[in-house]
Amino acid sequence: MTERTADLPLDQVRTLLAVVDEGTFDAAAAALHVTPSAVSQRVKALEQRTGRVLLLRTKPVRPTESGAVLVRLARQVARLERDAYGELGLSGAAGEPTRVSVAVNADSLATWFLGALTELPPEPRLCFELRREDEAHTAALLREGVVMAAVTSSPDPVPGCAVRFLGRMRYLPCAGPGFAARHLGGPLRKTLGVAPVVVFDRRDDFQDGFARRFGHGGASSARHYVPTSEGFVEAVAAGLGWGMVPEPQAGPLLRAGRLVDFAPDSPVDVPLHWQQWKLDSPALAMVADAVTAAARRALRR
């Protein structure tokens, strides 16, 4: 290892993290109680020391691939520092709770994940920063160092992370009764390609994947975008279109007659995994155990 890269000043690494978290150099300066010029100088010094561009000067600022490595390092150092303070009995004196950042998909947030957090003991004090992201994309936030842990559909561990299987979230193809009678009365190989559909956002291809199982190139281009889990379910129940609804949310509405499962022999199970940094962190270990226990109760094995 060269002398230039052997020693990374922690004040510069922490400053890089502050810029990424706050989004601008000025906001990072305010958070660190220094001048914007000092922030800029520290980042430039770190870039010179590593010989790499670490930030994309966009709004908000984003780390480059090299910058993401150092952002992840900064978060890990901060996590270990807080754990050490706690073991030394200093966390109470500091008066600041331990912050844990987790990426979670919207359906898990709406159904089972928050219950896991409420079961954690009152000590150590934890504050959560939850990032809502599709389960197919949460691993990217781990890779970038944005979060410490993630609920993800990928069983392949991100470098530097451990992974454990949580369970399977079952999705049911549902529609409102009136909508199903009007649009889904014939064979699905004919109706799914033309019936209006509800999707989460423009990256959501879950409904398209279901339609392809019946010989279509995808779901209809007549689609409604509803980017919340609760709103998505309500849109389907209201008759805007058909959609894949998580089993825990579908159950009460099916029993109440507000939804029908129009393909009861074709549910879709999505495997979910917990990935987290490989750190000897008691706080992170407690969160992982609570999440695993909640998933065991809520998800299919």
145 has pLDDT over 70: yes
Residue 77: what pLDDT?
86
The stretch 78-82 carries a mean pLDDT of: 81
Q: What is the pLDDT of residues 86-101, one digit of tens each?
A: 666 555 445 567 788 9
Q: Count Cα neighbours of 97 within 13 Å in the Cβ-side half-sphere.
A: 11
What's the chain's average pLDDT?
91
3 has pLDDT over 60: no
43 close to 66: Cβ distance less than 8 angstroms: no
Residue 80: what pLDDT?
83
Q: What is the pLDDT of residues 194-203, one digit of tens each?
A: 999 999 999 9
In this chain, the answer to whether the domains covering 1-74 and 169-268 adopt an identical fold is no
Q: What are phi and psi of 121, to 5 degrees?
A: -65, 155
Confidence class for position 102, pLDDT limits 50, 70, 90: very high
Residue 40: what pLDDT?
93
Q: How far is CA 180 from CA 64, 176, 191, 240, in A?
A: 48, 6, 10, 11
Q: What is the pLDDT of residues 159-188, one digit of tens each?
A: 889 999 999 999 999 999 999 999 999 999
CATH 1.10.10.10 fits domain 1-74? yes
Residue type, 143: R
One CATH from 3.40.640.10, 3.30.2040.10, 3.40.190.10, 1.10.274.30 for 169-268: 3.40.190.10
Residue appearing with tokens 């089993």: 247
Q: How far is CA 287 from CA 68, 111, 115, 201, 279, in A?
A: 24, 17, 12, 29, 13
Residue 5: what pLDDT?
42
Q: What are phi and psi of 8, to 5 degrees?
A: -110, 110
In degrees, to the nearest 5, what angle opens at C-alpha 160 toward C-alphas 154 and 165? Answer: 35
Residue 1: what pLDDT?
38
Give Cβ neighbours of residue 95 (< 8 Å, ≥ 6 apart): none
Confidence class for position 2, pLDDT limits 50, 70, 90: very low
- Could you state, in order of their start, the residue ranges of all structural domains in the chain? 1-74, 169-268
62 has pLDDT over 70: yes
Percent of the chain residues past pLDDT 90, beyond the cut? 71
Residue 95: what pLDDT?
56
Q: Which residue has the higher pLDDT, 126 or 296?
A: 296
Residue 221: what pLDDT?
95
Percent of the chain residues past pLDDT 70, beyond the cut? 94
Confidence class for position 38, pLDDT limits 50, 70, 90: very high
DSSP H or E segment with residue 183: helix 177-183
DSSP H or E segment with residue 73: helix 65-87
User: The whole model's pTM is what?
Assistant: 0.78
Query: Of the ranges 137-146, 157-166, 209-218, 266-275, which one carries the lowest mean pLDDT score?
Result: 137-146
Token pair, residue 158, equals 């991100």
